[in-house]
Amino acid sequence: MRKRTVLRLATGAAVMGGTALAYGSLVERNLFTLRRYDVPVLATDAEPLRILHLSDLHMMPDQHRKQAWVASLAATDPDLVVVTGDNLAHPEAVPGALRALQPLLDFPGAFVFGSNDYRGPVWKNPFRYLLPEREYVQGVDLPFEELRGVLVGSGWADLNNGRTSVKAGGRLIELVGVDDPHIERDDYASVAGPVTGQADLAIGLTHSPEPRVLDEMAADGFQLLLAGHTHGGQVCVPLYGALVTNCGLPRSMAKGLHRWPESDSWLHVSAGLGTHPTAPVRFACRPEASLLTLIPR
C-alpha cells in the first residue's frame, strides 16, 4: 500500500512538472506584457516624461510574433527609447531585431550591449545557474557592429562606456552607460564624474545590474538607473520569486522598480522579452517591456 502511494505521488509530481514545463515553453514565454511604472524623479513643476525600456530580446530569425509585438510599441509614443542589451541570439538575427526596432528608431533613443550581442549562446545545463560560481562560455561571433551601425545611424546614442546628452520630450537628458559588466567589458572610470546639473534628468544604463556599477552611477548623481540581464529570474516560484539573478543583484530586485540602497536613485530592471535559445521557458515571469512615466518628485 505504501509503495502504491509513493508511486502515485511520484507520478503526480512528474505530471505537474511536465505540465508546468509545457506551459512555460509553449505559452508563457510568448505572453508579451507591457508593464507601466510611475517614477518620481522630475522637478516639482515638470511635465511627465515617458521612457520605453526594452531589454534581452535574444532575437532568433523566425520569431515573427515577438518582432511584431515590439514594433507595435511605437504606439505608446515614448519620449525616449532605451535598450539595455542582449538583442541577438543567432548570427542571422539582425534583420529580425531591426524589424522589431525599426518603428522605434523614429524616437530619440540610447543603448548598451550585452554579452549576447557579441557572442552567440551555447547549450548549457540550466541548473548551473544555481551554482554560486561557474565558468562563462560563449559561442560564435555575432554581427553586433551591423546592429550598432543602424542604431547609431538612426541617431541613437551608443553608451557602451559612453556619456552624452540628448533632447527628448522637450527636455535635456544627461546619459551615461557601460559595456556589459557580466563579461568585464565595463569601464565606468572612463566616463565617471558628477552629473553636470545642466540637464533636466540624468540616467545611467548597464546591461548587467552589478552593484559595483550601480553604486558609482548613483554616487555621481544619476537619478534613474536602467538594466536588464536577469530575465526577472526567468523561472520563478510563486510567492517566493526569482531563484537567481545571474549577477550580484539581490533576488528581491530581480525585476521591476526599486530604490537603490543608500542613494536618491531609482533602479528599474527589465525582466526582458526573450530567453536563452537552449532554455526557452518562462514560468511566473512573463516576457516584458516597460513604459516608465517619469513624474515630479
What pLDDT is stored for residue 12 in this prediction?
38
247: its cell numbers: 549577477
The domain limits of the chain are 31-296
pTM of the model: 0.90
List Cα–Cα distances, 110 to 84, 158, 226, 280, in angstroms.
9, 6, 11, 28
Residue 136: per-residue pLDDT: 66
Q: Which residues lie below 8 Å from residue 2, measured CB to CB, with a gap of 6+?
A: none
Which pLDDT score is estimated for 125?
58
pLDDT one digit per residue (tens) for the chain, 297 residues: 555 543 443 333 333 344 444 555 558 999 999 999 999 999 999 999 999 999 999 999 999 999 999 999 999 999 999 999 999 999 999 999 999 999 999 999 999 999 999 998 876 655 555 556 656 667 899 999 999 999 999 999 999 999 999 999 999 999 999 999 999 999 999 999 999 999 999 999 999 999 999 999 999 999 999 999 999 999 999 989 999 999 999 999 999 999 999 999 999 999 999 998 888 999 999 999 999 999 999
CATH of domain 31-296: 3.60.21.10
* Cα–Cα distance measured from residue 212 to residue 242, given in angstroms and rounded to the nearest whole number: 21
List of residues 6+ apart from 55 with CB closer than 8 A: 83, 84, 85, 86, 207, 227, 228, 229, 270, 272, 273
Residue 65's pLDDT is 97
Long-range contacts of the stretch 192-195 (C-beta < 8 A, 24+): 192/216, 192/220, 193/220, 194/220, 194/221, 195/220, 195/221, 195/222
